[in-house]
Amino acid sequence: MDDRPRYMISVAAELVGMHPQTLRMYEQKGLVRPQRTAGNTRLYSEADLHRVEFIKQAKALGLTLEQVRELAVASRERACAMTRSLLLKRLDERINQTAQQILTLKRLKRELEHRQEALARRPPTDHGRGYCGCLEDGKLVAPGLVKINLRTSARSGVRERR
């Protein structure tokens, strides 16, 4: 072992602002590889702490742990230029995914505003159906919103979803 500082997991976790369990999970997933003492105590190097900071930043940008693992492995095994091109590709994918999410959220926002306006114009009523049907009116625009159509089964008299 060299003379550079090494940190036990509790100190390393505090330095990077994480719970020790998160560092253990990162090790389990192959994202970091702290050295071990003869007594099996984890010792984190400055490089390990920088790698954890990289992981935190990548996670904050919405990359999956699998994508982060791929980048971490690439950074250990390849030249920086290769890791950089892989990171650029992952960021491009994330930008496209985020653009799609923004479109979906804009549609949802329009739908929420439409429902709010329609509800504000309508006087309150006692529906007498055992539930509030205030949101049943209006055209569904946002993906993921589904209207449940119920019909009564002629044989059982029980209402069923369609």
48 and 55 Cβ atoms separated by less than 8 Å: no
Domain count, the chain: 2
Q: Are residues 112 and 63 in the same domain?
A: no
42-44 vs 7-8, strand pairing mode: antiparallel
CA diameter of the chain: 82
Q: What is the pLDDT of residues 49-92, one digit of tens each?
A: 999 999 999 999 999 999 998 888 788 776 777 788 899 999 99
Residue ranges making up the domain that contains 41: 7-77
pTM exceeds 0.75, yes or no = no
Highest mean pLDDT range out of 63-77, 102-116, 139-153?
A: 102-116
125 and 112 Cβ atoms separated by less than 8 Å: no
Cβ partners under 8 Å of residue 58, min gap 6 = 67, 68, 71
Q: Are residues 117 and 64 in the same domain?
A: no
Phi-psi region of 159 (alpha: psi -120 to 50; beta: other; left: phi over 0): beta
